[in-house]
Each structure stands twice: as C-alpha cells, then as structure tokens.
C-alpha cells in the first residue's frame, strides 16, 4: 500500500476517526456507568489421595488428577445448587445460579477453583464457600458409602473472601478498549471508503480528471470565514488569500492564452461556482481591472443578491431584445469600484430558447469592448444545455470542483464536452479542500499586477495600480509573464 495514500487518508480523515473512536468510547463509558456492579469471590480446594503413602507413585498422582476433574464435574451438578439456594435463602433459580458460578481446575495440579459472581460481595463469597462445604460433605458421604475406594481427602486451601472492588464493569479498562477499537474500526471504515469513493480528493485528482492544471485550492477555512461576512465589499484578511492566489494564477493562464471573456462553471451542480466567480471579479476590480460579471443562470438568477442589488432586468431582456437597448444599459454598478454586474433578470423556464441565438455571442463581444475581462457565471455543464452555448461564446473556461463531492467521471465528462465544443479550459479550481492539503502557494511580492485600460467607452475610472503582496515564499515560474502582460493583448 502506498504510504502517501495512508498519509493523505490520515491527514483528511483524522478528525472523523478521532470523533468516531471518542464517540464509541463515550458510549461504552455511559453504558458502564449505568450497569450494576458485579462482584466475584473464589474458593480454592485441594484434592488428596492415598494420604498415608510417604512417597506417592506416578499412578497415584495420575489418579489424583483424574479425581480432581471428577470433583470439578460434581461441582457443576444441579442438586448442589439447589442446596445452596435453600441454605442461603437466595431468591434465584438453580439455572441462573449455575450461570454465575465458574468451576475450573489448575493444570497439572490437584487444585479446584470455585468462583461465584453476584451483585453483593458478601453473597458471592458465601456462595463459593457453601459450594465448597457441600462438596466436602458429599465427599464424606461417598467415602462412607459404596463409592469409597481408598483413603482420600478434600480440603479448602483458601476460602472465598468478600472483595469490595467490583469485577465488572471495569470502567477505565472498558472505556480505553472501546476508544482503541473504535479508532481502529473508524480507520478501517475510512480506508474502505477512500478506496470505494470515486470523488475528487485533492488537487492531483482534480488535475488528472480534468486534464488541466489546478489554478487554485480554496480550503474549508476560507469558505467558512467568507460565510460569516455579510457582503463582498470587504474582501480582505487572511481568509481571502487563497482567492488572491487563484487570481494570480488565473492571470498567468490568461497571459499565456489571452482571453477577454471567461466562463466559470462546474461539472455538477455546485454553489461554490458563484463564490469563485465573485471573488475573482472583486479582486481583479480592486487591482484596477474593469470587470463585468454576468449571471448566466437564467433559471435561478441569484448573483445580484451578492451585491444587494435588484436583478429584475438583465440577461433575459438582452437576449429577448424587446426594448432594443444596448447591452451596457442593463449593467448595474456595484459597491466595488471597476466592477459592473449584468443580472440574470426574471427566471426563464427554458433558457435554451434564448441562449441558442447569435445574439448571445454578439452581446458578449459588445461587453468585451467595455471591460478588461468579462466573467460569466454559468450553471453545471452536465445538467444544463445552455451552459455549453455560453462556453462557446466565451474565450476560455475554468471548471470548479468540490473535494469529496465532484465525481472524477463527471469532471472527465465535462472536459470531454468542452473539447468537443472546442472550448479552451484554462484550468481547475478545487474548493472544499482540507486546509492541510497541498495548496498553491505563490510569492506575489515578486511581481506587480497592473491593468491598462482597453480602448472604448469606460464604465468607471480605473483605480491606481495595486501591488498584491503575500507572505508565501514559492513563486510561479511564469511571474515575469504576469508582470509584463497588460489587458490590451
């Protein structure tokens, strides 16, 4: 088994394994705390034969051992237990009492150990001693009767004593064993699940399934921190660093293959697609780029809610062309400088009718004249036919995947569909990744992201160039291409 597979499994599943093992240990602890305490006491008997011989022979020793086993069997007979119940006035049945008594012989000796278990330590000792006494009395009766075969003896070596420490449950021992076996069991379940599960686990799986480089890895911590913020106006702090790293690598990919319009989609339905597109748009706008963000989900347009805007008019009205207005008239300014939004408009039951039109490409090309980059947010590629039409109208595409959600087969199918439609896939963004997984670390202090305005009508005055800095120490090999590339290419 590959050690890297085990390390990745431990790194990704250690919380689940620890929680599962702790839960099992806690359940065992609770069960033991509610279980009644059971005490046990043991009496030891010695079997002697031919006590008058000064030097016992081998045959006599062998017969004594056989006689020991005979006495042990006599201690398991029902009449003896009926007498114990009568003498001690126990409120139980012979069968139940027999279940609470264990008779054993010590190998290669003539010793018999009678162990009794009961909820009272004194009663457990009384049961064991009474069994020993009754057996000795029965032995004397046999010696006096027709079963006598020589001189032998049965003596109590150690009487049973009441032990105040319960024999069960052993709370500490049972809890530790439950914790250990719980952890081992959960690790086995995680191991089987890891083998059977065909979902994407990390960046290597994502790159292999899509046949494209991983441009960014958004960890769970970054997504959780973002969920606590009310808007995207204050994209700042350490939580946004993975999105900044994604923006840097995206610029590198677009520098190698220039594109004026970009579609952000996923293989299967994924809410993370909106988060990735919005963060890219905001970060590029903060760096002085003129950005237009388009809501391509015409069935359920929600992108306007990220900016607290009204989205009654938008892509639907543009494609219908009922009012014959220029596309830029439907753009809404956002609270982020240099960022404009084209909402989806009112929901459309069948978007394919609107999207299957030359007007779609014409609208995108018209918007390209007003922005440095147009970002289209589209629904899942494998679930919506219109997404492929939007992808064909754009210059490039990025595919968003979520760790442990997106299936490898779905990602591969999405890549195949894009290739057949001659859509360039610039890269992959992996969300929901374990924060300890290998992330894409870039030293952005080594290069400056700058934007030069495109010719044509400006939507907003560009902000001054911003130098994006990062504490990380690993630089991209294409840093010089990013720093020298301008958006008019």
CATH of the domain at 75: 3.30.70.1130
Residues 217 and 357 in one domain: yes
Residues 137 and 175 in one domain: no
Tell me the C-alpha to C-alpha distance, in Å, between residue 31 and each of 39, 149, 175, 182, 185.
Answer: 18, 53, 10, 15, 19
Partners of 49 in the β-ladder = 152
Residues 150 and 23 in one domain: no
Per the structure, the complete domain to which residue 43 belongs is given by: 39-158
Taking residues 19-36, what's their average pLDDT? 90
Closest CA to 281 of 255, 299, 263, 257: 263
Residues 421 and 328 in one domain: yes
372 occurs within a structural domain = yes
Residues 272 and 401 in one domain: yes
Whole-number average pLDDT of the chain: 80
Taken in order 70, 73, 78, 82, the sign of the CA dihedral is positive
355 occurs within a structural domain = yes
Could you report the per-residue pLDDT of 321-334, keeping only the tens digit for each? Answer: 867 788 888 999 99
290 occurs within a structural domain = yes
Residues 26 and 43 in one domain: no
Partners of 399 in the β-ladder = 265, 428
Taking residues 368-390, what's their average pLDDT? 91
Q: Which residues contact 470 (CB under 8 A, 6 or more apart)?
A: 241, 244, 245, 442, 443, 444, 445
Residues 343 and 461 in one domain: yes
Residues 146 and 15 in one domain: no
| Separation between Cα atoms, residue 44 and residue 131, nearest integer Å | 11
Termini Cα distance of the chain:
49
Number of domains in the chain: 3
DSSP string, 1-35: --HHHHHHHHHHHHHHHHHHHHHHHHHHHHHHHHS
Residues 66 and 181 in one domain: no
276 occurs within a structural domain = yes
Q: What is the pLDDT of residue 378?
A: 94
The pLDDT-based confidence of 455 (bands split at 50, 70, 90) is very low
C-beta of residue 289 within 8 angstroms of C-beta of residue 282: no
489 occurs within a structural domain = no
| Separation between Cα atoms, residue 266 and residue 320, nearest integer Å | 26
| Separation between Cα atoms, residue 117 and residue 40, nearest integer Å | 4
Q: What is the pLDDT of residue 144?
A: 56
Could you report the per-residue pLDDT of 120-142, keeping only the tens digit for each? Answer: 999 999 999 999 999 888 877 76
213 occurs within a structural domain = yes
Residues 225 and 289 in one domain: yes
Please provide residue 483's backbone torsions phi and psi, each rounded to the nearest 5 degrees.
Answer: -70, -25
Q: What is the pLDDT of residue 130?
A: 93
Could you report the per-residue pLDDT of 103-126, keeping only the tens digit for each? Answer: 999 888 889 999 999 999 999 999
Burial grade of 351 (CB within 10 A; 0-12, 13-18, 19 or more): buried
Q: What is the pLDDT of residue 221?
A: 62
| Separation between Cα atoms, residue 265 and residue 414, nearest integer Å | 10
Count the alpha carbons within 13 Å of 298 in the hemisphere toward its beta carbon. Answer: 21
Residues 103 and 251 in one domain: no
CATH of the domain at 412: 3.40.50.300
Taking residues 82-89, what's their average pLDDT? 92
Could you report the per-residue pLDDT of 394-445, keeping only the tens digit for each? Answer: 999 999 999 889 999 999 999 999 999 999 999 999 998 765 444 433 333 3
163 occurs within a structural domain = no
**Residue 73 in this model has a pLDDT that exceeds 70:** yes
Domain boundary among 107, 139, 158: 158
Q: What is the pLDDT of residue 188?
A: 87
C-beta of residue 401 within 8 angstroms of C-beta of residue 434: no
Residues 180 and 297 in one domain: no
164 occurs within a structural domain = no
């Amino acid at each position: 088994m590959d050690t890297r597979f085990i390390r990745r499994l431990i790194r990704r599943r250690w919380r689940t394994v620890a929680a599962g093992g702790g839960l099992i240990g806690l359940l065992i602890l609770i069960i033991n705390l509610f279980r009644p305490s059971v005490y046990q006491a043991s009496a030891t008997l010695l079997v002697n034969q031919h006590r008058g011989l000064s030097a016992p022979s081998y045959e006599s020793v062998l017969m004594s051992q056989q006689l020991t086993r005979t006495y042990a069997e006599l201690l398991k007979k029902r009449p003896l237990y009926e007498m114990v119940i009568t003498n001690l006035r126990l409120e139980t049945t012979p069968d139940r009492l027999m279940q609470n008594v264990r008779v054993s012989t010590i190998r290669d000796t003539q010793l018999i150990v009678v162990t009794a278990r009961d909820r009272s330590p004194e009663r457990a000792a009384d049961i064991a001693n009474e069994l020993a006494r009754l057996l000795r009395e029965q032995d004397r009766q046999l010696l006096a009767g027709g079963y006598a075969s020589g001189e032998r003896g049965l003596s109590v070596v150690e009487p049973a004593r009441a032990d105040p420490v319960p024999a069960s449950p052993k709370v500490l021992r049972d809890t530790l064993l439950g914790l250990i076996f719980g952890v081992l069991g959960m690790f086995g379940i995680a191991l089987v699940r890891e083998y059977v599960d065909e979902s994407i686990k990390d960046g290597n799986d994502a790159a292999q399934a899509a046949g494209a480089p991983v441009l960014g890895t958004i960890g769970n911590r970054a997504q959780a921190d973002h969920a606590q913020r009310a808007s995207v106006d204050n994209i700042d702090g350490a939580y946004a660093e993975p999105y900044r790293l994604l923006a840097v690598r995206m610029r590198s990919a677009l520098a190698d293959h220039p594109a004026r319009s970009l579609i952000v989609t996923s293989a299967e339905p994924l809410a993370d697609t909106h988060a990735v597109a919005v963060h890219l748009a905001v970060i590029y706008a903060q760096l002085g780029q003129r950005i237009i963000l388009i809501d391509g989900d015409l069935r359920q347009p929600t992108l306007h809610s990220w900016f607290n805007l009204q989205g009654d008019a938008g892509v639907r009205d543009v494609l219908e062309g009922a009012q014959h207005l220029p596309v830029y008239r439907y753009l809404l300014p956002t609270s982020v400088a240099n960022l404009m939004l084209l909402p989806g408009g009112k929901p459309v039951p069948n978007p394919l009718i609107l999207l299957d039109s030359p007007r779609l490409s014409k609208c995108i090309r018209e918007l390209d004249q007003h922005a440095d980059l147009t970002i289209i947010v589209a629904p899942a590629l494998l679930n919506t036919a219109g997404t492929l039409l939007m992808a064909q109208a754009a210059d490039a595409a990025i595919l968003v995947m979520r760790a442990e959600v997106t299936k490898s087969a779905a990602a591969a199918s999405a890549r195949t569909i894009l290739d057949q439609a001659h859509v360039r896939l610039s890269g992959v963004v992996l969300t929901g990744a374990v924060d300890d997984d290998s992330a894409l670390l870039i030293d952005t202090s080594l290069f400056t992201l700058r934007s030069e305005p495109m010719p044509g009508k400006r939507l907003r005055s560009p902000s001054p160039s911003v130098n994006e800095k990062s504490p990380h120490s690993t630089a991209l090999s294409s840093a010089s291409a990013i720093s020298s590339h301008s958006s008019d290419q």
